[in-house]
Amino acid sequence: MNSIKNIIGYIWAVAAILLIIVIFIGSDFLSKKFVEASGLKVSPLYTGGETLRVVEKNGYKMTIQKPVFPALIGENADGFVQIVLRSETGFADVIEERIDYDGNAGDDFLIKIDTKKSAAEVSSCDGRPVSLIKLYSLKNGWAVRVRVKNERK
């Protein structure tokens, strides 16, 4: 019994060495397999959620992302919608955009960005409560997070 345990012990130790070689040589392959198998993604709290639609505007591109209601279990009653505006040529002093994030063909809120003052305002178009969480200054644009209520809660 002891000699079997002894042999298994040494095999285990050699396998530990081989494992180190395998994880470094196969790092890219194993990383991809790990993501596929686990289904893990970066939290929408950081990515801003999946892209709902991209709208080409005069001189800039606007990405509207799906609303995010982050919670450890289920969904939160409060969440946010992220709007990203990017331009290669620059922005006007003031940008105004009406956003429909729930796809009901009606505008939900209006965002107004003062690019000179790095300030933003949000107002509701349909009476539902919205407020500005934060305006982010990006290298070639702006991102706005707007607090919205979860209709399902």
Partner 1 sequence: MNEINKPQSGSEKIGAIKSFFIALPMMLLTLLLLSGGKKPSDGYAFVALAATYILFNSIFYLMVKTGKTDKYRLPLYFTSSILFVFSFISHMLEARGSMAFTDDTLINCQIPFCHIATTMMIIPAALTKTIIFPGTMIGGYASIASMLVVWIGVSLSIGRGWCSWGCFFGGMDDGFSRFLKKPVIAKISENLKYMPYAVLLTVALTSAVYLSPTYCEWACPYKTVTEYQSVTSIESLIKMIVCVSLFISLVIALPLLTKKRTQCALFCPFGAMQGAANYISPFDITIDREKCVKCMACVKNCPTLSLDEACVKEGCAAITCVKCGKCVDICPKGAAQIHIKGTIYGLNPTAKRILFIYAAFLLFATFSGGWFQASLAKIFKLIATGVI
Binding site for partner 1 (CB under 8 A): 2, 5-6, 8-10, 12-17, 19-25, 27-28, 30-32, 34-35, 38-48, 70-73, 84, 136-139, 143
Query: How far is residue 91's CA from residue 143's CA, in Å, rounded to a whole number?
Result: 13
Considering beta carbons, is residue 30 or 106 the nearer one to partner 1? 30
Taking the complex as a whole, the smallest distance from the CB of residue 59 to partner 1 amounts, in Å, to 20
Extract the tokens encoding 43: 């939290």
Q: Are 50 and 68 in contact (CB under 8 A)?
A: no
Query: How far is residue 109's CA from residue 37's CA, in Å, rounded to a whole number?
Result: 39
Considering beta carbons, is residue 19 or 54 the nearer one to partner 1? 19
Considering beta carbons, is residue 24 or 58 the nearer one to partner 1? 24
Taking the complex as a whole, the smallest distance from the CB of residue 37 to partner 1 amounts, in Å, to 10
Beta bridge partners of 53: 64
Taking the complex as a whole, the smallest distance from the CB of residue 116 to partner 1 amounts, in Å, to 17
Residue 17: count other Cβ atoms within 10 Å of its Cβ.
Answer: 9
Considering beta carbons, is residue 86 or 112 the nearer one to partner 1? 86
HSE (CB half, 13 Å, CA atoms) of 98?
7
Taking the complex as a whole, the smallest distance from the CB of residue 34 to partner 1 amounts, in Å, to 5
